[in-house]
Chain A
Amino acid sequence: MFKHDSPASTSVEIILDGQPLSVPAEVNVAAALLAIGKLISRISPTSNKPCSPHCLMGVCFECLMEIDGVRRQACMTPVRQGMIINRNLETGERGQS
């Protein structure tokens, strides 16, 4: 889906949907996941269909994910070492906005 123009310099370890993963550091969560080929950001609670980040500038809310326990816009959240991210792809989002 995406490739690096120049190799990413540093990386951080995160836990994505229960799996430990290494992603590029110093970028936002949406970019970090796209960099490792994770396109799907969530399952829409209204259509039950998969979504991917659309605007990457904080407008569309398609990249809402549970980040360290809180639903946040992944494109507006810097990725950090040890971050726990849940996309809830099997169950969809619990609760409603």
Chain B
Amino acid sequence: MSDHYDTIVIGAGPAGLTAGAALAEMGLKVLTLDEQNRLGGQIYRNVENASEDNLNKMGEEYRRGLKLAKRFRRSGAAYSGNSMVWNVESEGRVCYSRNGVSTRITANYVIIATGAMERPVPFPGWTLPGVMGAGAVNGLAKDANLCPSGKVVLAGSGPLLLLEAALLIEKGVQITAILETTPKLPPLSIISYIPKAIPGAGFIWKGVKMLLDIRKSKVPHYKGVTNIKAIGENGVTGVEAVCGNKDLKFSTEMLLVHFGVIPDSHIYRLLGCRMEWEKTQRYWYPKTDQWGRTNFERIFGAGDSTGVSGALASEFKGELAALEIAYCHGIIPKYERDSLAEPIRRKFQKDFCPRPLIDAVFAPDPKRFSFEDTTILCRCENISVGDVRNLVKEGVTDLNEVKAVTRCGMGPCQGRMCGPALGEIVAAELDLPISRGGLLTIRPPLKPIPLGEVAAIDIESGGVDPANLFKNQSKQAGH
């Protein structure tokens, strides 16, 4: 039974590394699988090999990852990089592909720590070469010491957009403009969040300092921008936008976009986990209890994949999931679980303080997403916003029906890039709250793999018959 683990952790970012380390420290047999070939996830990407220069530029938030990586290595937790998980079953079976070979392993518990992704927001020209995520460029710097060499425009909303802008300014990158879709003045409703945010004033002060740095650089910085459009034939050459009653136009070699981050929820949805709607930040997240357990006894979630709350909070979530799993294995008694969890929860609360205020200031406003009919919604299948709207006008109301008819969400990315906007567009067209519209159904494999790999899997450990692997698991779970 060498391929059976006490716990399998999926994802080696802040939550996954913490959970893996904590479980190994308590003597459990744990395996952490990660799609990247180096641990750290997105925020701590490549931190173990980072140059001193990179550690300094990326700041304390990045350097902290070194400590976590050291803890993880010291714990003796097994780690398998380059491992792409393509199926998870609620009984604790996991299939993953590594170097062209698929393996099926089992565990008593699975912790899903797949983190977050940049919110994909379709706009005219977003499929042009040279339009990239701001997070993508941040990753390139951490991974490969690369930074844009030509003119750059940054557009979108959220603290990470400004963070990336400040970083590129510091590196001397030629930024033509920052186009923030966030309104000039935050909504009045944020006042109610301010008192609770005061213990987190340090975090907010950092943000203010960052804004001052951007202002000092004299980079044109527009707020309340709408109608962003990337211009070009075979690559982006310019950006147009509207700010108030002013039309803006810039020539550029790159357009970096960022519209906040949302949980990477594909595995939860594949499993049929109960999903809930976050109405301020407008994303779906799995319902979990105070330890991160989903509606399936053996399936836990941790980190930003259960709701975006940042790297430190993710570590706390990983720690809490590990404590509950250790308790369920009989490694620690209940009172120890609870007394160890107490200080973690306190730290979590303190770290969480400024978050509702930040989330409200940068709340995406569905009225400001002015999706144009001709804009490509589904990049993989080349389906436009208008294609979807026309279908809804014809009476199709279910996202999965839209998918079946138009192929929107059916390409290799499996709705990762179009799903969130598809939900917004269909709900707006029907004039229904998005929470009623549901989600695209996710089926295995989570990412395309060669069929030969599936055929070659050694199957003897029971579970779903190989012939049924690709059937819709979530339907069996009663959803």
Contacts and interface: CB of A to CB of B under 8 A. Distances in A.
Contacts of B412: 61, 64, 97
Nearest to A3: B149
B129 interface: yes
Interface in A39-60: 39-40, 44, 46-47, 49-60
Nearest to A31: B144
A93 to B, nearest CB: 10
B118 interface: yes
A12 interface: no
A5 interface: yes
B136 A39 contact: no
22 contacts: A3-B147, A5-B141, A5-B145, A6-B51, A24-B144, A31-B146, A34-B146, A44-B127, A44-B382, A46-B382, A47-B376, A49-B127, A51-B127, A52-B131, A55-B118, A57-B135, A57-B136, A60-B120, A62-B379, A78-B82, A97-B412, A97-B448
Interface string B347-391: 000000000000000000000000000001001111000000000
Nearest to A48: B382
Given A39-B235, A56-B139, A59-B416, A47 B127 contact: yes
Contact of A60 (B130, B140, B413): B413
A56 B49 CA distance: 19
Nearest to A28: B143
Given A2-B140, A53-B136, A76-B36, A59 B417 contact: yes
B148 A1 contact: yes
B277 to A, nearest CB: 21
A27 B144 CA distance: 6
Interface of B: 35-37, 42, 49, 51, 53-54, 82, 84, 100, 117-118, 120, 127, 129-133, 135-137, 139-141, 143-150, 171, 234-235, 253-254, 264, 376, 379-382, 411-413, 416-417, 447-448, 450
A94 interface: no
B145 to A, nearest CB: 4
Contact of B150 (A1, A60, A76): A1
Nearest to A39: B129
B131 A3 contact: no
Contact of A51 (B49, B129, B416): B129
A60 B139 CA distance: 15
A97 to B, nearest CB: 5
Nearest to A58: B35
Given A2-B149, A34-B146, 7 more contacts: A3-B147, A27-B143, A28-B37, A28-B143, A28-B144, A39-B235, A97-B411
Contact of B132 (A44, A46, A53): A53
Q: Which interface residue of A34, A55, A71 has the most chain B CB atoms within 10 A?
A: A55
Nearest to A51: B129
B379 A52 contact: no
B37 A78 contact: yes
A21 interface: no
Contacts of A35: 144, 146
Interface string A74-96: 00101000000000000000000
A58 B54 CA distance: 23
Contacts of A78: 37, 82
B149 A46 contact: no
Contact of B148 (A2, A49, A50): A2
Contact of A1 (B36, B117, B149, B379): B149
B118 A70 contact: no
Contacts of B411: 46, 61, 97
B133 A5 contact: no
Given A2-B140, A39-B129, A57-B42, A52 B146 contact: no
B235 A50 contact: yes
Contacts of B145: 4-6, 8
Contacts of A49: 127, 234
B129 A52 contact: yes
A91 to B, nearest CB: 17
A73 B381 CA distance: 17
Given A1-B148, A2-B149, A76-B84, A47 B140 contact: no
Nearest to B126: A54
Given A49-B127, A54-B133, A54-B136, A60 B146 contact: no
B417 A60 contact: yes
B382 A47 contact: yes
Given A54-B133, A55-B118, A57-B139, A4 B42 contact: no
Interface string A6-44: 101000000000000000101110011011000110001
Contacts of A51: 127, 129, 379
Given A6-B53, A51-B127, A56 B235 contact: no
